[in-house]
Structure 1
Amino acid sequence: MVTVNILFFITDQQSHNALSCAGHPHLNTPHMDALATSGVRFTESYCAAPVCGPSRACLATGRMPHENGVLVNGLSIPDEMPTMGELFRDASYRTGWTGRWCVPGNGPDIRGFECLHDSDQPLGQGIYTDTHVADRAIDFLDQKHDRPFLLGVSLCNPHDICYWVMQQSTPQGELDPHTIRLKETADALAFASDADESELPPLPDNFAIDPNEPSFVQSCRQRPYYGQEVTFTWDWDETTWRRYLFTYHRLTELVDIQVGRVMSALHENGLSDNTLILLTSDHGEGQAAHHTVVKLWLNEEAARVPMIVSGPGIPADVVNSDHLTSGIDILPTMCDYTEVDCPDVTGRSLLPVIDDPTSDWRGCVVSELHPDPKNLEMQARMVRSQRYKYVVYSMGTNPEQLFDLDADPGETANLALDASRTNHVAYHRDLLREWLSSTGDAFTVPTTP
């Protein structure tokens, strides 16, 4: 075993493009940019599921939701399935975790990890508690360690955008008790992010809703629970949408500050030369694409996330846009780098393509969506190939989408409705069927031409 430390950052709800090093013109993330410059930034990286609990279970196990059983928030990883913390603890690492866990629980029951944060902290409110989460990480790094460590730093922001959305309006119709409680929490938060209209960013080019949008997606827009934030936008004008984007950018900058504080402690304690650092997010944020907010969508803004790997032996200042990566690759990468035994997982170590970009790699990456905890039969799958993205929904009209991401990065033209693209659709159906068969996923792909 190689005695190297691991520092693992997870932000919450940060889209792939919410980095100034990714060319975003309306936010500034110098600390995450510096981390990217020190290593490899994978630009084509996707969460395994675009919602907190399922995605984090995939990060912890290297397996997809249908394999680890965490299809929606609130479900637990099976006891017999080893997690990241357990694997490294059993390999004599000191394993510490500060911040949100979400699979479920935020207290001392974090599997395989010593809980570093105060368990009574409201970890879902990043503007109040991300500083505490980072403080506990810094305290950990300031200690003397007689063995290698795995430190998880799970920061909440820019997730607080959920609460900002719910501050702006009230949905039509009757609210369920849980949504009422969330609305009360949202209204109590103080966001210091107001701006003159001249400072607001423009709306995205893909702001409009497709008139032929799948009815599955239309129904998700109406759900008054579990991703209910979109129902709070029904009366927003364009200025409110722009203020929403402005606030999201500021929350992203706040979490960047905490990343910088932890990285400074790593450097000041002389640990940088012996620590593998990884940074990703559990999922992205709608960012007004097609009038969406928050998560539980499979568009690029919600499903595609940052992925940065840095450390001894990792080449610096590399931007990798050729290899499709997933959150399930985090665990096997950690194990491969440290020579810790890794169980049979679906994810793959990123080290081969970091060491040799010509290495054989997967031809597609898949994400799962279960948007309604009251109806688990309602689900979708996304297949991203090198150029195209295919999405298929389990029910409703227009159940398939195909986008040419080279020509249409905003996903505005659904080629699945174009009769001349039948072969492209069939090819991606076959890719998905192969994936379903190899991973034991019972999802059904349409058989119509």
Structure 2
Amino acid sequence: MSQRKNILFIMCDQLRYDYLSCAGHKTLHTPNIDSLAERGVRFSNAYVQSPICGPSRMSTYTGRYPSNHGATANFVPLRVGELNIGDHLKPLGIRPVLVGKTHMIPDQEGMKRLGIEPASPIGVHHSQIGFEPYERDDGIHPDLVLKPNVAYNNYLKERGYDDHENPWHWAANSVERRGEIRSGFFNDVAQLPARVSEEDSETPYMTRRAMQFIEEDDGEKPWCLHLSYIKPHWPYIAPAPYNDMYSAADVQDVHRSETERENTNQLAQHFQERICGQTFSREEARETVIPAYMGLIKQIDDQLGILFEFMEKKDLMKSTMIVFTSDHGEYFGDHWMGDKDFFHDPAVKVPLIISDPDPSCDNTRGSVQNAPVEAIDLVPTFIEYAGGAVPKHILDGRSLMPLLQGNDVPWREFVVSEYDYFQQSFSPKTGRAPLECRIYMIKNDRWKYIHAPGFLPILFDLTNDPDEFVDLGNSDDHTDARQYMHYALADWSLQYRQRETVSEERAEQMVGLEDKFGVLIGYWNEEDVKPPATAPDFESGPKAH
């Protein structure tokens, strides 16, 4: 453990698993991310616990499924008592630090009920999901939500972008066309350059802030620096020269079939009919927006090159575990859908690369690990890396350290993702109350099964239909497969992670506890008492008269 110190935890937002050259993209070259994969392990079957920012990130930061932590949709607060990444790492001497986005919504009502001042150290801990907010910037909200005192906005104003109170929106994420300023939320302008310079755009700014933290660090404590990029999430606006670095010729073929629109599952159809699905079902939209998306990814890769070179000069690469991942993907017209929110691989499968510099991981460097892993596995991985014991009675995830070290260990068969869709504008059309608007996905090597109460199930045969084009949810020939996966989902739903106050080790010590206390229920007489039961000392007690 002498060489183990820091964790650099890099997360992109809305980065698809297949938009890296090391993952097979034909024209998008990401040499710095590829070099990280060469120094570590690329996990080819990594899945998030929800296909949308908020609940996905809350699962990543708590190591627990949404059903357990309760933040099951965007803007649903994480309850104040939920243990987070800071609760697990701070006792191990690790300093969790944030630069970028978390999408954390604090439980203001819970803190008020418990008398916790939001500005107090414990209030900040809960509000920032255990991170020290060196620079917190979720960066995706328009004027009515984004607060004007966000540090990045202040930076832009200092740089002269002061023509609006919210330069994040009107400068960094808008364009100028024929003398008119157009918001980047409108995808028809995605090919135009942002109104900020490349230097002043979000990704270089956040990279510089991460390097600034490292420069200022006093070295007293190892850190877990969460560099959480806002991009390549929409608005899909890139600064020059990244805005036109790629063209329609670089756009890979859309991944969909007409079969998917025939006898479509009713709930899936609702998602297809959203405005984003309609927009990205048109080639014009794909050919306009995807090149800008690729440019944003290329910019991230270039900035990571700068960051890694900086860390090399600081001699930090030998003592820092580096993790690179995303909180979910993006459809871009695949399966006739747009954005995310559903459970095809473009939305729920993510890139995951981990490089551990410890010599124990030398034999796996440059390898691809195909085991099914989940985002909830990162917190237990960090705990074991830091020398701690993984609290199995609290965390749903499993440490990836054995896989990084090349050890052959029993592994999970299924991955699970879930989402509450009550905020979707179509939800009233379903006739279901908000508590009833739930979707679950469970997947193994052969099947992907999607269950939504009130709708027919969806089933994909991944062996014969790896493209996920043919829904077998109503097939008479696949009743047994649906039943098998439904029972697997039921078994998963009965998992028990609510006894957070008693560890497994303590639970073992509590076997026969009442007998040990001398609470002898059901015994006939003193002769029945055997160790570890403890009989009261009746001889020294009161005597009968």
Identity %: 28
Q: Select 1:121's aligned residue among 148, 152, 157.
A: 152
Query: 3-state DSSP class of the match of 1:372?
Result: coil
Q: Partners in 1 of 2:435 and 2:328 — Cα distance? A: 20
Aligned to 2:365: 316
Residue aligning to 1:288: 333
Query: What do the CA deviations read for 1:237-284 (whole angstroms, capped 9, x no partner)?
Result: 323223333232222222222322222222221011111111111001
Corresponding residue SS for 1:193: helix
Equivalent pair of 1:203/1:288 in contact (CA under 8 Å): no
| Greater alpha carbon shift after TM alignment, 14-23 vs 120-129 | 120-129
More off after superposition, 256-265 vs 343-352: 256-265
Could you tell me which of 344, 347, 363 is aligned with 2:413? 363
What value does the CA root-mean-square deviation take over the aligned residues? 2.7
- Could you tell me which of 263, 268, 281 is aligned with 1:217? 268
Alignment of 1:328 onto 2:346:
no
Letter paired with 2:228: S
CA deviation after TM superposition for structure 1 residue 361, in Å: 0.5
Question: Whose radius of gyration is greater, 1 or 2?
Answer: 2
- Displacement of 1:422: 1.8
SS at match of 1:286: coil
Q: 1:241 aligns with which of 264, 286, 292?
A: 286
Contact 2:446 2:462 in 1 (8 A): yes
Distance, in Å, in 2 between the alignment partners of 1:388 and 1:88 is: 36
Match of 1:386 among 438, 445, 452: 445
Secondary structure of the equivalent of 2:268?
A: helix
The amino acid that maps onto 1:297 is F
Q: Using CA pairs under 8 Å that are at least 6 residues apart, name the structure with larger relative contact order, 1 or 2.
A: 1
Counterpart for residue 277 of structure 1 = 322
**Alignment counterpart, residue 404 of structure 2, candidates 354, 374, 392:** 354
Shift of 1:200: 4.3
Report whether the alignment pairs 1:151 with 2:225: yes
Structure 1 residues 196, 116: CA separation in 2 closer, same or farther (over 3 Å shift)?
closer
Residue number in structure 2 paired with 1:445: none
Partner of 2:387: 339
Q: Residue type matched to 1:395 in 2?
A: G
1:253-264 to 2 correspondence within 5 Å? 253-264=298-309
Q: Return the offset for 1:45.
A: 0.6
Structure 2 alignment gaps of length 5 or more: 107-118, 137-149, 154-167, 174-193, 195-200, 425-433, 499-545
Q: 1:316 to 1:89 in 2, by over 3 A?
A: same
What is the 5 A alignment of 1:390-401?
390-396=449-455, 399-401=456-458
**What are the equivalent positions in structure 2 for 1:45-444 lying under 5 Å apart?**
45-104=46-105, 109-117=127-135, 119-121=150-152, 128-143=201-216, 144-160=218-234, 163-164=235-236, 193-194=243-244, 199-206=249-256, 208=258, 209-222=260-273, 229-230=276-277, 233=279, 237-311=282-356, 312=358, 313-314=360-361, 315-321=364-370, 323-343=371-391, 344-373=394-423, 375-396=434-455, 399-439=456-496
Instruction: Give deviations 1:314-333, integer Å, cap 9, x for gaps.
Output: 23101011x11001001001
Paired letter, 1:330: L
Amino acid at match of 2:418: E
Deviations along 1:158-209, whole A, 9 cap, x unmatched?
102xx24xxxxxxxxxxxxxxxxxxxxx8x9999634897624243242544
Change in Cα spacing, 1:218 to 1:324, as seen in structure 2 (3 Å) is same
For residues 82 and 384 of structure 1, the distance between their equivalents in structure 2, rounded to whole angstroms, comes to 27
Whole-angstrom CA distance in 1 between matches of 2:257 and 2:244: 22
Single out whichever of 132-141 and 333-342 deviates more from structure 2. 333-342
Give the aligned partner of residue 175 of structure 1: none
Alignment check: 8 A CA contact 1:49 1:367 kept: yes
Q: 1:198 to 1:83 in 2, by over 3 A?
A: closer
> Would you identify which runs of 4 or more consecutive aligned residues in structure 1 move more than 6 Å?
123-127, 188-191
The TM-score with structure 2 as length reference comes to 0.69
Quote the Cα distance in structure 2 between the aligned partners of 1:268 and 1:102.
32
Letter in 2 for 1:319: V
**What is the aligned partner in structure 2 of residue 171 from structure 1?**
none
**CA offset at residue 392 of structure 1?**
1.6
Distance 2:496 2:267 in 1: 25
Moved more, 354-363 or 45-54: 354-363
Counterpart of 1:6 in structure 2 is: 7
- Cα distance in 2 for residues equivalent to 1:96 and 1:290: 38
1:136 aligned partner, one-letter code: R
Alpha-carbon distance in 2 for matches of 1:215, 1:198: 33
| Separation of aligned partners in 2, 1:133 and 1:246 | 22
Output the CA distance in 1 between the equivalents of 2:212 and 2:482: 52
Contact 2:95–2:222 under 8 Å retained in 1? yes
Cα distance in 2 between the residues matched to 1:191 and 1:213: 41
Give the AA of the match of 1:413: V
- The alpha-carbon deviation at position 150 of structure 1 amounts to 0.9
Task: Work out whether residues 11 and 280 of structure 1, in 8 Å CA contact, stay in contact via their aligned partners in 2.
Answer: yes
Equivalents in 2 of 1:191, 1:51: separation in Å?
29
TM-fit CA distance, 1:415: 2.5
**Structure 2 CA distance for partners of 1:198 and 1:4, relative to 1, 3 Å:** closer
Question: When the two structures are aligned, how many residues end up with a matched partner?
Answer: 407
Does the C-alpha gap of structure 1 residues 190 and 28 become closer, same or farther in structure 2, counting only changes over 3 Å? Answer: closer
C-alpha displacement of 1:341? 4.3
Distance 1:26 1:378 in 2: 40
